[in-house]
Amino acid sequence: MAAATKARGPQTKEDRLFQWAAGTVLSVFGIFMLVPFAWMMLSAFKTEAEIKRLPPTIWPETFTWDNFGRLFTEMDFGTYLTNTLLITLFAFVGLLLNAMAGFGFAKYRFKGREKMFLLVLATMMIPGQVTMIPVYLILNSVGLTNTMLGIVLPGFSSAFGIFLFRQFMSTLPDEVMEATRLDGASEYRMFAQIILPMSKPILAVQAILTFIGGWNSFLWPLIIANDQKLYTLSVGLQLLKGQHGTNFALQMAGAAFMVVPIMIVFMFFQKQIIENYNISGIK
Amino acid sequence: MKGSSKIAPYVFIGPTLLLLSIFSLLPIAVALYISLTDMDLAGLADYANISFVGFKNYMDVLGDPVFLVALRNTLVYVVVGVPLIIMFSLGVALLINYGRSKLFKTFRIIYYLPSVTNIVAVAVVWSYLYNPGIGLFNYVLTTLGFDRVPWLTDPTIAKFSLILMALWRGIGLNMIIFIAALQGIDRSYYEAAAIDGASAWQRLTRITLPLMRFAIFFVSITTMIGWLQFFEEPLVMTEGGPLNGTVSAALFIYENGFQYSNFGYAAAGSFILFFIIIAVTLLQLRLQRKQNEE
């Protein structure tokens, strides 16, 4: 399938037929991709009685916001939301640390640089299942289980993030750094006032991914938080699934509450997210 | 001045390096050690209760019928899931890359969307879709005259239901990688092929796919590693049930560690999984090298 080979030439009949066929196949599968989202949204606005009816209604007969209200009255979604936002905020501290490390690896020559960078990359290959239990034991030994700090610390630094920052920052011109140094600025001021502003494209991508990752964080909150006061939205939603197993309207409202903000963020920034894979140099 | 620029790199990389050491490197040593002990809740309360047991945990795990079932399930996930996800994401990427109208940009968003959604939310929605009585899937099937499918209540079918959901969620990421690779192919190859009168099929099999070899290899390795660790889907959807029908190796480790608090036992299991991952990856690297030599 030639990648828009003849974009400049005249379209042949065969080519136009292929275009239509491709569009049709993608549409059919595309509808299947969207069905779960559509069904979630429609069901979230139905009453509990309506959702149990057979045959099911497609459009909500009595349109209700009740389910969303009950998330905050019957469940503690207010607390879960606060915790999730707090974790996301913390994740941005981690993002800054990754940017610093990426800069250190990109722009300085120092003893052991190559070896340390290889070590960072090697950590990407360790499966989560191997570190899961020891990390829990380590956090437990310093009394950080069932604390917010214990939830966020394990995910603070990401080898992949460091790698992407290093890739981007090594393309920044050295002359700018030299000029800043001649002006007498310290290395740290240079990083904050010159390097970070110049790294806006990669920062934007990483910020979006950090937000999505923080918002969706599930495993560490699940392992570390014993107390419902520390639950995140995803852990709370799992609790809801267990407690209100048959109330699908309420469950769909909870799912929609988690998914819709991410969908909006994604729609806004999809170009940056998708192009991230060009920056990472996979192609 | 000189001094500050000498310490500066260590200040920049120090915090992350420290964090990675504590949460990635040190844990390997800790895991290796506790996998040789009988560490459990009593051991957690007082380290004096821990005793060294040698390779007993490894022997026990390898003889544990649940672990063997988990390994078999994981094999099914990998053997069925990996080819499916590569075929679908490659197919979608080719079709999207082929299209010229604006509509195809929209398809890119639609197919990627499930990848950014939360696993618990996805599981909640799919559990409802899969519900045997009032779920949408069975309603559509019965309306069309088919029998109801026990999506999550039959041990064998449940595996495939989880794969279907993971497929839906996993296409997007690989598709983006494939599209990036497709856009990197030099147009002149196709122009030359067009002059030679090559058919669309020939262009696909003789130019596009061979040039995509590295991307396909990259995606198969990462997907394979990912599916060997298949975990969140069975954890949230089925908790490994029914009758251990969906329990995966990674879920087995999680359950033994955090539900039964058999930390030593679970750590031994995690190393066995780690060895399997390394072995499979090395095997794939070797196959790839052989293919390149031909």
Average pLDDT over chain B reads 90
Which residue on chain A is closest to B41 by alpha carbon?
A137
With contacts defined as CB-CB under 8 Å, which chain A residues touch B19?
Answer: 97, 153, 156-157
Q: Helices A128-141 and B263-293 sit at what angle, rounded to 10 degrees?
A: 150
- Is B17's CB within 8 Å of A37's CB? no
Q: How confident is the model at residue A19 (pLDDT cuts 50, 70, 90)?
A: confident
Q: Is residue B110 part of a domain?
A: yes
Q: How confident is the model at residue B4 (pLDDT cuts 50, 70, 90)?
A: low
In degrees, rounded to 5, the angle at the alpha carbon of residue A151 between the alpha carbons of residues A149 and A156 is: 80
B37 strand-pairing partners: B52
Expressed as residue numbers, the domain containing B253 is: 58-293
- Number of structural domains found in chain B: 1
Q: Is residue B33 part of a domain?
A: no
**Which residues 89-118 on chain A approach chain B with CB closer than 8 angstroms?**
97-98, 100-101, 103-105, 108, 110, 113, 116
Q: Is residue B12 part of a domain?
A: no
- Is B112's CB within 8 Å of A140's CB? no
Q: Is A189 on the interface with B (CB under 8 A)?
A: no
- Is B20's CB within 8 Å of A55's CB? no
- Is A248's CB within 8 Å of B25's CB? no
List helix spans (H) across chain A.
13-44, 48-51, 66-73, 77-107, 113-123, 128-141, 148-152, 159-169, 174-182, 187-190, 196-198, 200-216, 219-224, 233-243, 248-279
Cis link prior to B242 (omega < 30° from 0)?
yes
Q: Is residue B39 part of a domain?
A: no
Q: Is B122 on the interface with A (CB under 8 A)?
A: yes
Condensed to tens digits (0 to 9), the pLDDT of residues B49-59 reads: 888 999 999 99
Q: Is residue B95 part of a domain?
A: yes
- Is A270's CB within 8 Å of B112's CB? yes
Burial class (CB in 10 A: 0-12, 13-18, 19+), B247: buried
Which residue on chain A is closest to B211 by alpha carbon?
A283
**Number of other residues whose CB lies within 10 A of the CB of residue B69:** 20
Would you state the pLDDT for residue B140?
93
Q: Is B92 on the interface with A (CB under 8 A)?
A: yes
Q: Which tokens go with A19?
A: 């275009």
Q: What is the CATH number of the domain that holds B147?
A: 1.10.3720.10
CA distance B54 to chain A (A): 18
Q: How confident is the model at residue A8 (pLDDT cuts 50, 70, 90)?
A: very low
With contacts defined as CB-CB under 8 Å, which chain A residues touch B122?
Answer: 36, 255
Q: What's the rounded Cα separation, in Å, for the pair B239 and A133?
A: 19
Condensed to tens digits (0 to 9), the pLDDT of residues A38-85 reads: 999 999 999 988 888 878 888 888 889 999 999 999 889 999 999 999
For chain A, how far is it from start to end, CA to CA, in angstroms? 18
With contacts defined as CB-CB under 8 Å, which chain A residues touch B190?
Answer: 2-3, 5
Give just the sign of the alpha carbon dihedral A155, A95, A273, A87: positive
Q: What's the rounded Cα separation, in Å, for the pair B252 and B257?
A: 8
Which domains can be identified in chain A, with CATH numbers?
A: 13-67 (no CATH), 76-243 (1.10.3720.10)
Q: Helices B65-98 and B56-63 sit at what angle, rounded to 10 degrees?
A: 70
B52 strand-pairing partners: B37
Condensed to tens digits (0 to 9), the pLDDT of residues A80-128 reads: 999 999 999 999 999 999 999 999 999 999 888 999 999 998 888 888 8
Q: Which tokens go with B61?
A: 């795990």
Q: Are A231 and A79 in contact (CB under 8 A)?
A: yes
Closest to A137 in 3D by CA, of B267, B196, B51, B237 = B267
Q: Is B282 on the interface with A (CB under 8 A)?
A: no
Q: Is A72 on the interface with B (CB under 8 A)?
A: no
**Number of other residues whose CB lies within 10 A of the CB of residue B130:** 25
Would you state the pLDDT for residue A1?
41
Q: Is B199 on the interface with A (CB under 8 A)?
A: no
Q: Is residue B22 part of a domain?
A: no
